[in-house]
A = this chain, B = another copy of it.
Amino acid sequence: MNLIDMGKRAKAAGGLLGRAPTDVKNAALLAIADALEANAEAILSANTLDLTDARAKGLSEAMLDRLNLHNRIGEIAADVRSVATLPDPVGATIEARTMPNGLQVSKRRTPLGVIGVIYESRPNVTVDVISLCLKSGNAVILRGGSETLRSNMALVKVIRDALAPFSADIPADAIQYIDDTDRRYVLELLKLHQYVDMIIPRGGNTLHMFCRENSVIPVITGGIGICHIFVDETADLDAALAIIHNAKVQRPSVCNAAEVLLVHEKVAADFLPRVVDHLGASGVTFRAEPRALAALNGSADARVSPAGAEDFDTEWLALILSVKVVSGLDEAITHIQHHHTQHSDSILTENPDHATQFIDAIDSAAVYVNASTRFTDGSQLGLGAEMAISTQKLHARGPLALEELTTYKWVIIGEGHVRG
């Protein structure tokens, strides 16, 4: 395993892929989708070995489900085909102006070059990442989790083989996989700044901090969401109930699901019991701070328990909702500012001034008024597929879709221009 060599080959391959015509990239994506379906058997045999080992190690059913590719190849291939239909971000002119001295100045969108992606479980991520990098003209070096190594290797082999007819524009080295699970290779990857332009860690906070602390390459972190919903005094409470249910229950394991509910004190006594009944019927349990507990009559209800010290700083990713009563907009804003992960936060209100104040004060990737936090997603916001959700502020915030996988260069055309 020689990462410097991998980096060099990725950079060279990226140089070609970065200039590949759109129709070649799209044809390659369709060939990849076909190859995934045609080679489903080989992929699933490898996946079965990973699953058997994972089960022997005692991984939870939820984890096993994340690993499992059976009956999902068709869906994964369909996602690849859908990336082929998205607009190619490369080559577009972003801004163009002629300066008073006649110099023609423009910015042209170009690929970043080489992207390193470090991720855990879920082998479908392997295919998502490859298809988005290919479409955006970037070479990629992947490093997946050890529990899915055989599934990932099978997927990468099928994909690299499928690229053979396109090798003049898309060399196989545009897609490389670090197949040694020794962690020192992650560390080596983070130091390859001469060859790698961006690192995307997809995983928990520990992985993110490891990358931020050790990388000399720019890192985009995100995907950790302690998302809040604040129900203001004037909220439409029926709509609020539906929104909270959607944000908590529809897919509790994702980063844009709501984890904390803040309720204005004037509506708490009326509204909170309705929340517990409505969401409780879907299996949600509640962690209530004292005032919320009081509004719920001290919680004779078994679904409600007193909130612990960490419960307002926890990304549950499960059917659990932390609940707090606040005195009004100011306390809601202050609470969110101290506890959110700058992912997605929503105010439910019929008061337009409060909506404006909330939007201005909350410094999150996505700030919502009267909507579920579940819309923070590339496809829901009209960007197509996404590589990650960024919760940091440089380069891109929120969905990291195709355009966010590019940079630009200034193109400056003169006629013998010199600076005066």
Residues on A lying within 8 angstroms of B by beta carbon are 15, 19, 97, 99, 103, 105, 108, 110, 112-113, 193, 197-198, 209, 212-213, 216, 218-220, 236, 239, 242-243, 245-247, 250, 337, 355, 359-361, 363-372, 374-376, 380-382, 392-395, 397-398, 407-419
Asked whether A419 lies within 8 Å of B374 as measured between CB atoms, the reply is yes
Find chain B residues with CB under 8 A from A417 CB.
Answer: 243, 370-372, 375
Asked whether A371 lies within 8 Å of B412 as measured between CB atoms, the reply is yes
Say what secondary structure dominates the interface of chain A: mixed
- Chain B residue with Cβ nearest A413: B369
- Chain B residue with Cβ nearest A256: B419
State A190–B403 Cα separation when bound (angstroms): 29
Asked whether A218 lies within 8 Å of B216 as measured between CB atoms, the reply is no
Find chain B residues with CB under 8 A from A414 CB.
Answer: 368-372, 375
Asked whether A394 lies within 8 Å of B397 as measured between CB atoms, the reply is no
Asked whether A409 lies within 8 Å of B250 as measured between CB atoms, the reply is no
Asked whether B112 lies within 8 Å of A246 as measured between CB atoms, the reply is no
Asked whether A410 lies within 8 Å of B381 as measured between CB atoms, the reply is yes
Asked whether B236 lies within 8 Å of A416 as measured between CB atoms, the reply is yes
Asked whether B395 lies within 8 Å of A363 as measured between CB atoms, the reply is no
Asked whether B413 lies within 8 Å of A218 as measured between CB atoms, the reply is no
Given A393-B198, A394-B197, A409-B363, decide whether A419 and B380 contact each other with a Cβ distance below 8 A. Answer: yes
Q: A112-B394, A366-B412, A371-B415 are in contact. List 11 more A-B contacts (CB 8 A).
A: A105-B382, A197-B392, A198-B393, A220-B394, A355-B413, A364-B409, A370-B417, A375-B412, A380-B419, A397-B408, A397-B410
The answer, among B97, B216, B364, B410, for a CB contact under 8 Å with A212, is: B216
* Nearest CB on B from A329, distance (A): 15
Find chain B residues with CB under 8 A from A413 CB.
Answer: 355, 368-371
* Nearest CB on B from A88, distance (A): 15
Find chain B residues with CB under 8 A from A198 CB.
Answer: 393-394
